[in-house]
């Protein structure tokens, strides 16, 4: 492999099924759903009244009350995840190391709740009621900026915004920068919090969200014949990526190794994937080429699996294109069946869970797969987790605008 080796030395996750990595992973492998009635706003008049919200999240456990009030919820979540990550990885941010540690995150929409709040103030009371913190609260890159401020990381600091592929693209670029020797380590992954009136009404207008309000825990049904839209979620999933020799020198715990990244564009439609799955397949082919492995080497797949009719059918076609007969032998997991779709954070959270699968030898289940769909006929690990030897895992993310990304991790040896 050309370039430096890149390993995962820290993980953190704040998700609808847990406010820590341990809690999230435990519930994921147990098949526990985090989908419930919406509480972040009054959704009684909306077509969709369910979401994957964080439960009992308290930003003041990580930042002071004054600072918390000057952060949008997505930034609060990012800072909390960043602090959990630093505690897990044990990296000491010395004066010499700080310029070698980047913060590269994915975020799809940024501070939508802040925009809504201040727009209401503007309309009701005029421009003098707008806070000087309005812009710094809402811009997407403030997630990376605040993590940098709170951790002392002084390397490259930015956010990738590519819809639902944002987190995976961020991981791919962080991996590339370390592999090329530009930096030594990087805080990466994704964050999002857009369970707001505008967010939900916008996706409702597109007919993209599930309206199975009476049975929230069964609403997200990736690859199931009765799937009827995704469930919006919020949270963050972060990884500490580190150059192997640096990690070994400090005695770091190593969860997994990142070995390949691929991206592509459909050049087809603003929201619908190319129905042949060609663009999705191309991202996976690029990742396999980058990792210098064959499709048959992959042990399991963490699918994008949104629970929408077109995405799941198209992703299944793409998997068959890439893996051919081997596609029927690979266990596939769809985390969104339990946590919902975290949009720009999805790729980060799912990469965290992919690393945990390789670290523990457990493939989490896809829940709510009750009704067969002839268009989705692969092994989606229905019902319960599966313990098995795992060497390589691929995590997929696909987004509006026809943007596709895949990252490959392997069990560290």
Indicate if 96 and 236 belong to the same structural domain. Answer: yes
Q: Report how many domains make up the chain.
A: 2
Domain edge (last residue) among 249, 272, 306: 249
Tally Cβ neighbours within 10 Å of residue 237.
Answer: 34
Provide Rg for the chain, Cα atoms.
20
Indicate if 222 and 267 belong to the same structural domain. Answer: no
How far is the C-alpha of 375 from the C-alpha of 394, rounded, in Å? 21
Identify whether 255 is part of a domain: no
pLDDT at 28: 98
pLDDT at 230: 98
Identify whether 256 is part of a domain: no
For the chain, residues with pLDDT lower than 50 are none
Indicate if 308 and 385 belong to the same structural domain. Answer: yes
- How does pLDDT run across 294-331, given as a tens digit for each residue? 999 999 999 999 999 999 999 999 999 999 999 999 99
CA 174 to chain centroid: 15
- How does pLDDT run across 175-197, given as a tens digit for each residue? 999 999 999 999 999 999 999 99
Indicate if 335 and 404 belong to the same structural domain. Answer: yes
8 Å CB contact between 261 and 372: no
Which sequence positions are flagged as catalytic? 164, 304, 341
Domain edge (last residue) among 191, 216, 249: 249
Identify whether 76 is part of a domain: yes
Indicate if 237 and 266 belong to the same structural domain. Answer: no
8 Å CB contact between 190 and 350: no
pLDDT at 210: 98
Contacts of 166 (CB under 8 A, 6+ apart): 106, 107, 108, 159, 160, 190, 343, 344, 345, 347, 397, 399
How far is the C-alpha of 13 from the C-alpha of 350, rounded, in Å? 10
Angle subtended by helix axes 112-125 and 197-205, to nearest 10: 110
pLDDT at 22: 98
Indicate if 82 and 171 belong to the same structural domain. Answer: yes
Identify whether 91 is part of a domain: yes
How far is the C-alpha of 230 from the C-alpha of 220, rounded, in Å? 6
Indicate if 273 and 402 belong to the same structural domain. Answer: yes
- The proportion of the chain whose per-residue pLDDT surpasses 90, expressed as a percent, equals 99
| Structure token pair of residue 44 | 């009684």
Indicate if 244 and 284 belong to the same structural domain. Answer: no
Enclosing H/E stretch for 166: helix 166-179
pLDDT at 413: 82
Domain that holds residue 290: 261-410
Indicate if 175 and 288 belong to the same structural domain. Answer: no
């Amino acid at each position: 492999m050309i370039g430096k080796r890149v390993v995962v030395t820290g993980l953190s996750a704040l998700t609808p099924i847990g406010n820590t990595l341990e809690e999230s992973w435990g519930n994921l492998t147990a098949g526990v759903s985090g989908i419930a009635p919406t509480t972040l706003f009054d959704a009684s008049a909306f077509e969709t009244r369910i979401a994957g919200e964080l439960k009992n999240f308290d930003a003041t456990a990580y930042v002071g009350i004054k600072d918390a009030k000057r952060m949008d919820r997505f930034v609060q979540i990012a800072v909390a995840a960043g602090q959990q990550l630093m505690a897990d990885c044990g990296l000491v941010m010395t004066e010499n190391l700080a310029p070698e540690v980047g913060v590269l995150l994915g975020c799809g929409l940024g501070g939508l709740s802040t925009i809504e709040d201040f727009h209401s103030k503007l309309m009701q009371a005029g421009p003098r009621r707008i806070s000087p913190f309005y812009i710094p609260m809402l811009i997407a890159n403030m997630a990376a900026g605040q993590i940098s401020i709170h951790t002392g990381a002084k390397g490259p600091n930015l956010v990738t915004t590519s819809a639902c592929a944002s987190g995976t693209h961020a991981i791919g670029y962080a991996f590339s920068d370390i592999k090329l020797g530009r930096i030594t380590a990087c805080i990466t992954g994704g964050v999002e919090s857009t369970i707001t009136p505008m967010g939900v009404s916008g996706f409702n207008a597109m007919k993209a969200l599930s309206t199975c309000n009476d049975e929230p825990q069964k609403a997200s049904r990736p690859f199931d014949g009765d799937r009827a839209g995704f469930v919006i979620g919020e949270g963050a999933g972060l990884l500490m990526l580190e150059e192997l020799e640096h990690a070994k020198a400090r005695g770091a715990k190593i969860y997994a190794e990142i070995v390949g990244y691929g991206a592509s564009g459909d050049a087809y439609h603003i929201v619908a994937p190319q129905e042949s799955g060609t663009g999705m397949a191309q991202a996976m082919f690029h990742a396999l080429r980058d990792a210098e492995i064959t499709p048959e080497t992959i042990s399991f797949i963490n699918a994008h699996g949104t629970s929408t009719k077109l995405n799941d059918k198209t992703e299944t076609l793409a998997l068959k294109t890439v893996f051919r007969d081997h596609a029927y032998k690979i266990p596939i997991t769809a985390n969104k069946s339990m946590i919902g779709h975290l949009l720009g954070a999805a790729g980060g959270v799912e990469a965290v869970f992919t690393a945990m699968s390789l670290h523990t030898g457990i493939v989490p289940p896809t829940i709510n797969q009750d009704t067969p769909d002839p268009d989705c006929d692969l092994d989606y690990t229905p019902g319960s987790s599966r313990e098995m030897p795992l060497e390589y895992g691929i995590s997929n993310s696909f987004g509006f605008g026809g943007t596709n990304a895949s990252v490959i991790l392997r069990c560290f040896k």
